[in-house]
A = this chain, B = another copy of it.
Amino acid sequence: MKSKKVTFADIAAYTNFSKTTISRYFNNPDSLTLENQQKIADALVALDYKENKVGRILASGKTEFVGIIIPNLYMHYYSEMLSQILSTYETYGYKFLVFAGNAKADIERKYIEELLAYNIEGMIILSPTIPSRELASYNVPVVGIEREDQYISSVNTDNYMGGVQAAGLLKKSGCDILIHVNGNIPETAPASGRIRGFVDTCKEYHLPYELILTHLGDTFEENRAKIRKVAEQIKQKYPNKKKGIFMPNDTHANVLLNLLIQKYGKLPESYQLIGFDDSPISREAVIPTSTVGQQIPVIAREAMKILSAQMEERKKRRPALPGDPVHKIIPPILIRRNTTI
């Protein structure tokens, strides 16, 4: 059982070719006669050869590894993104070494060191923790997704347009007052664009609006407590108005929706609700919830496209200089369900 692994040397001995020829059989078979190709093919079967990529990596320097640093997997947005990135294996053949970073910079740095030690060819970073300037300094192709991206390539949702779409839908729904609830998002985060898009749209159409920017808590229970307060506050402030509320994501939209349903047994007509992300909860909620959908499969695909282009470039004999970071913007898709007209 503990049989030694079969190597090129064994195949070479068996077939009376050199190791070089065996290598060529795999990398450039056309340079062998058909007859000899067959001989080797037979030997592979006879000896039950299994390829060993470690030797190849060492000799060639190409690992076909891509590192991924993702903040967590309990948020659907991230797990879905990871899933879509993994699925690009079929297209590009890169293997993924995945780390879930705990938003602690030191730990994430350690992960990156480890990835680099395995000669990864590139990285995809979803975690916002480490500044793009530092990421760029590692001298490995990097693509960021929905994070600060001044010094690295990136793919982001068009958050501004998302804000515009949300406000637009609430406007159509005939709301008297538009409200956007969100956390304290740093200016550099792409997500901050939603706020600007929302505000600009309200201003453009002279719609009364209010921004409620406050930290909504780190656990579901905190979220609920906080959102309950916010809801109460809104109710007090706009008692006889039709309220259009744009929540920062579908999870939070669902919390608000459930609070209203628990209170009124249905969604009162004076409330219009829209979330963000198109995560499953928006579809599976008591009342399927309108949302601004992020095109996660497209984002993942574009990220790998950019990354693989940069990785391929580096493999050339005379690689072009890195050049400026590429920033790709993916439009969101407005999804109308039953919490808006």
Instruction: Identify whether the interface residues of A are mostly helix, strand, loop, or mixed.
Output: helix
Q: Which residues of B contact A118 (CB under 8 A)?
A: 53-54, 95
Most buried by B among A52, A100, A139: A100
Check if B100 sits within 8 Å of A83, measured CB to CB. Answer: yes
Q: Which residues of B contact A320 (CB under 8 A)?
A: none
Would you list 6 pairs from A and B whose C-beta atoms are within 8 A, ordered by A residue? A1-B139, A54-B118, A55-B58, A73-B79, A87-B100, A261-B261
Q: Which residues of B contact A87 (CB under 8 A)?
A: 100
Please report the total number of A residues contacting B with Cβ < 8 Å.
50
A258 closest partner in B (C-beta): B286
Check if A99 sits within 8 Å of B117, measured CB to CB. Answer: no
Q: Is A285 an interface residue (CB 8 A)?
A: yes
Q: Is A50 an interface residue (CB 8 A)?
A: yes
Q: Is A129 an interface residue (CB 8 A)?
A: no
For the complex formed by this chain, how many copies does it contain in all? Answer: 2
Bound CA–CA A79/B74 (angstroms): 7
Q: Is A89 an interface residue (CB 8 A)?
A: yes
Check if B100 sits within 8 Å of A86, measured CB to CB. Answer: yes
- A residues apposed to B, CB below 8 Å: 1, 50-55, 57-58, 63, 72-74, 76, 79-80, 82-83, 86-87, 89, 95-100, 113-114, 116-119, 139, 220, 251, 254-255, 258, 261-262, 265-266, 280-281, 283-287
Q: What's the nearest-Cβ distance from chain B to residue A294, in Å? A: 14
Bound CA–CA A98/B286 (angstroms): 34
